Structure 1
Amino acid sequence: MQAAQLTHYQSDFKLAIRDIPTPTPSENEVLVQVKVAAVNPLEHLIGSGSVKLIQNYAMPLTMGNELAGIITAVGSAVSQFKVGDEVYARLPLTKIGAFAEYVVIDEQALALKPKHLDFAHSAAVPLTGLTAYQGFTEELAAQPGQSVMIPGGSGSFGQLAIPIAKALELTVMVSGNARGQKSATAMGVAQYFNYKEENYWETLAPVDYVIDTIGKSEFAHELSVLKSGGRLLSLRMGPNRRFAQQHQLSFLKTTLFSMAGAQLDRQAKKAGVQYHFIFVRSDGAQLAKITEIVERENIVPAIDPTEFSLAQVNEALDLVANGHPKGKVLIRF
């Protein structure tokens, strides 16, 4: 089979298309024929070596974290799935490999794809959906009736985070561009701030939580709208001591992350809040709950219209890194 592989960490890495053996599933795994794989900023973090302190890989590495496809074989102990099932997944961080014609996946990482979505739109759900779900339920420990602000929430993250937050009975506020206002309002946001016309931090009542999708340039504004004791969860700014301790990392890595996140922690402490960082993991049971929300709300994720084959994987990566995609960038098999 063909696969797109990384041979070494490099800031301007390129993947090589290679012929490698088709894998055989172990007793708890299934073999999935990949129909569509999604391309994410995470690929750049992995390929450049930016996250090797969190997860270091042996080379060569078949890349790709997110997919939709069909099960073609099952291990002897697999109980939840059968040959022919149409599934999707955020692959386990320790065993990625979606940029290939076939991949073996532990059944605990899988879920049946949404019935109303094709493979392309299904492949756009798992990583973003799990990021939102784990962010709300684990990092923020959000409770019904509480409030969350998502700066930059009119994009692909908000498209799944807003309905998931509503399903968890949270009050949601979002800032974004004019184009995203109609869909965000239709999904039930309590307030929408067009960032070109108004500054949310000047009028927004204090909220329990903030999910940061923008980065350090927005940090001070995000801190200013949090209630005392609130929590800020970043998808962009990087890990800190809390992250290292939660993931039971080594003393050396904990020390390094403590140093890297020290300034963020100091600013958060001064504001009377907590800073959190998330690195989303695979979880088939959670993905099944997300599937229910996606089906119930009839969510159709945005996908970029540019079609890429596996041979064009580096062009797809470049679009994610340097272009302005109109939704999730996909590789179709």
Structure 2
Amino acid sequence: MMKRVQYHRFGGLEELRLDDVPQPEPGPGQIRVRVRAAAANPMDWKIRRGEMKMLSGSRFPRGLGHDFAGVVDAVGPDTVRLKPGDEVVGVATIRAAGAFAESVIAEEKNSVLKAPSMAFEQAAALTLVAVTAWSGLVMRAQVRPGQSVFIAGCLGGVGRAAVQIARMRGARITGSCSAGGRDEALALGVSDVVDYQDFDAAGYPGLFDVVFDTAGKLSLSQCGGMLKRGGQSLHIVPTFAKMIGSLFSPRRRLVFGNPTPESLASIAEAGERGQLIPAIGRIVPLSEAIPALVELEMTGLPKGKLVVVPDQ
């Protein structure tokens, strides 16, 4: 048996339980990982509330959490890259989830070797946000040296990763955040910092090759007005208008955190080189995960990633 944070129906925070469940067994192409660290993402509570059931399915009980780092302790048939004893980082699937646990089942294709110099906590905190930013800036927009990128929400989880990836790609970065985050954004690599409360998209006509709305606050028309000819806007909050808009114009792209071995390996290498560093706000043991998740969802605190580690 093992401990796992899970819920038995869609709903509010009161549905969360820390239960004893049977130790899972990996199937074909899967690995079982002894979790050393797992990180929270807004997607976790959106799924728990039932807002993503088209993707997550409605099977219960459901585990919580997707980002993990740990040590492989069992492999299923048809695994080819990883073996017991490997230190890995990865993302559990939306349907399976379950990273806030003593062990998690993951697809081998969604897991790679952890960079040796990165702590498990850092590796787990980086995974999904960096995969999302990488999917947008590298795989979708193919950002190149000398291009101009606007990142809305540049100090959020995805926004912070996007700034660092855009900087790696040689782009010039403008970003929006709170006035109090200005110095932090400049230190991260943002050249021009905009207070999001005073931001007016009309003041930036046709200036950017890429507009990446990681905060979900900009409309399609605002983003379009900020783009150069041939530019692209990227969106991680899939509103109805943005889903429809992305169907009719290659300049508008919805971005999802779809991990691949290649993107995960590139992210791990960037982490090893110190080019991708997550902001960790709090680290708690698994036994205290539910109160910490409640506080995070209700208050937005702490700033930075919430990381869950095994009980000592």
Common fold: TM-score over 0.5:
yes
Say whether the 8 Å CA contact 1:35–1:69 is kept in structure 2. Answer: yes
User: What is the aligned counterpart of 1:313 among 267, 289, 297?
Assistant: 289
Unaligned residue ranges in structure 2 (runs of 5+)? none
The two structures have a TM-score, normalised by structure 1, of 0.81
In structure 2, the partner of 1:279 is 256
Matched AA of 2:296: V
1:188-227 matches, within 5 Å, as: 188-195=189-196, 201-202=202-203, 206-216=207-217, 221-227=222-228
Tell me the CA shift for residue 205 of structure 1. 5.7
- Secondary structure of the equivalent of 2:15? coil
Which shows bigger deviation, 221-230 or 149-158?
Answer: 221-230
In structure 2, the partner of 1:304 is 281
In structure 1, the partner of 2:175 is 174
In structure 2, the partner of 1:245 is none
CA distance in 1 between counterparts of 2:273 and 2:205 reads: 30
CA distance in 1 between counterparts of 2:55 and 2:29 reads: 25
The two structures have a TM-score, normalised by structure 2, of 0.86
In structure 1, the partner of 2:309 is 332
Distance change in 2, residues 1:182/1:310 (3 Å): same
1:1-333 matches, within 5 Å, as: 1-12=2-13, 14-195=15-196, 201-202=202-203, 206-216=207-217, 221-236=222-237, 238-239=238-239, 260-261=240-241, 265=245, 274-305=251-282, 307-323=283-299, 324-333=301-310
Tell me the CA shift for residue 190 of structure 1. 3.4
Say whether the 8 Å CA contact 2:205–2:227 is kept in structure 1. Answer: no
- Secondary structure of the equivalent of 1:172? strand
Residue by residue over 1:16-47, the C-alpha shift from the partner in whole angstroms, topping out at 9 and shown as x without a partner, is 22211111223422211011111111011101
Unaligned residue ranges in structure 1 (runs of 5+)? 240-259
- Secondary structure of the equivalent of 1:125? helix
CA distance in 2 between counterparts of 1:264 and 1:314 reads: 36
CA RMSD, Structure 1 to Structure 2 (Å): 2.8
CA distance in 1 between counterparts of 2:113 and 2:181 reads: 29
Say whether the 8 Å CA contact 1:13–1:48 is kept in structure 2. Answer: no
Distance change in 2, residues 1:131/1:263 (3 Å): closer
Residue by residue over 1:243-296, the C-alpha shift from the partner in whole angstroms, topping out at 9 and shown as x without a partner, is xxxxxxxxxxxxxxxxx3279739x98xx8833222312323211101111222
Identity of counterpart residues, as a percentage?
30
Higher percent of residues as strand: 2
Say whether the 8 Å CA contact 1:71–1:87 is kept in structure 2. Answer: yes
CA distance in 1 between counterparts of 2:184 and 2:162 reads: 13
CA distance in 2 between counterparts of 1:152 and 1:110 reads: 28
Say whether the 8 Å CA contact 1:164–1:290 is kept in structure 2. Answer: no
Distance change in 2, residues 1:200/1:187 (3 Å): farther
- Secondary structure of the equivalent of 1:53? helix
Residue by residue over 1:52-87, the C-alpha shift from the partner in whole angstroms, topping out at 9 and shown as x without a partner, is 123323111112111111111223433322222221
Tell me the CA shift for residue 191 of structure 1. 2.3
CA distance in 1 between counterparts of 2:143 and 2:306 reads: 30
